[in-house]
Amino acid sequence: KAGVTQTPRYLIKTRGQQVTLSCSPISGHRSVSWYQQTPGQGLQFLFEYFSETQRNKGNFPGRFSGRQFSNSRSEMNVSTLELGDSALYLCASSLQPGIRGETQYFGPGTRLLVL
Amino acid sequence: DAKTTQPPSMDCAEGRAANLPCNHSTISGNEYVYWYRQIHSQGPQYIIHGLKNNETNEMASLIITEDRKSSTLILPHATLRDTAVYYCIVNSGNTPLVFGKGTRLSVIA
């Protein structure tokens, strides 16, 4: 079974631009979560989607948004990019939320560099 | 904030067992202990998880104390490819994963 896939793997943008990242979960998984990893803040939760609905949201500004499609694929968008948005963006999938002992599986990440 | 405490770094000789400790004294009854590892610039890799019984899979063993306030991840025969940051996380399955700083394990030839 294929793992979580993320595209693109690497991206370079300039300040003020916007970017869209894509995540395809493991087949059969319907929950997708996004995380941001920076050297200073570590791994931080952005948001979680299930059944095309945002279920949880971390403490990030409104410039960060996401959505989920009916096939469980998810995208996240960052508008008006800032230098501090340079990070590794990770997507994780699981069967569905609320299952005790459920495991999240991570993709390889998208490395975003903002110049 | 992370609900776990881990040593910032550890060394292990290649071929020896690596024992990574984790304290989670405030763990609640419905929370599991999860272990992930992250090799440089890659996505975190799931290793193992458990509730109260010891667990073993092809990658590692997880030993949880009877009071569930601490646990140890054991890599039985560490190799250079096991060099990574190891994260211990407590989670009920209904909330986002909260990552701490983890333990940087260096396996030395």
Tens-digit pLDDT profile for residues A57-105: 999 999 999 999 999 999 999 999 999 999 999 999 999 888 888 899 9
Mean pLDDT of B37-57: 95
Q: B15-27, pLDDT tens digit by residue?
A: 999 999 999 999 9
The answer to whether the peptide bond before residue B7 is cis (omega within 30 degrees of 0) is: no
Question: For residue A38, what is the nearest residue in chain B, using CA coordinates?
Answer: B41
Chain B residues contacting A via beta carbons under 8 Å: 30, 32, 34, 36, 41-46, 49, 51, 87, 92-101
**Going by C-beta distance under 8 Å and a sequence separation of 6 or more, which residues neighbour residue A71?**
none
pLDDT band of residue B1 (cuts 50, 70, 90) is low
Q: Under a CB-based contact definition with an 8 Å cutoff, are residues B32 and B95 in contact? A: no
pLDDT band of residue B51 (cuts 50, 70, 90) is very high
pLDDT band of residue A7 (cuts 50, 70, 90) is very high
Mean pLDDT of B36-46: 95
Q: Under a CB-based contact definition with an 8 Å cutoff, are residues A77 and A98 in contact? A: no
User: Under an 8 A CB cutoff, do B51 and A97 touch?
Assistant: no
Q: Which of A4, A103, A106 sits opposite B49 (nearest CB)?
A: A103
Cβ-Cβ pairs closer than 8 A, A with B, add up to 58
In this prediction, residue B41 carries a pLDDT of 83
Q: A15-69, pLDDT tens digit by residue?
A: 999 999 999 999 999 999 999 999 989 999 999 999 999 999 999 999 999 999 9
Find which of A31, A54, A103 to mutate to test the B interface (most B CBs within 10 Å of its CB). A103
User: Under an 8 A CB cutoff, do A104 and B51 touch?
Assistant: no
User: Under an 8 A CB cutoff, do A111 and B41 touch?
Assistant: yes
In this prediction, residue A83 carries a pLDDT of 97
Q: Tell me the three state secondary structure of residue B81.
A: helix
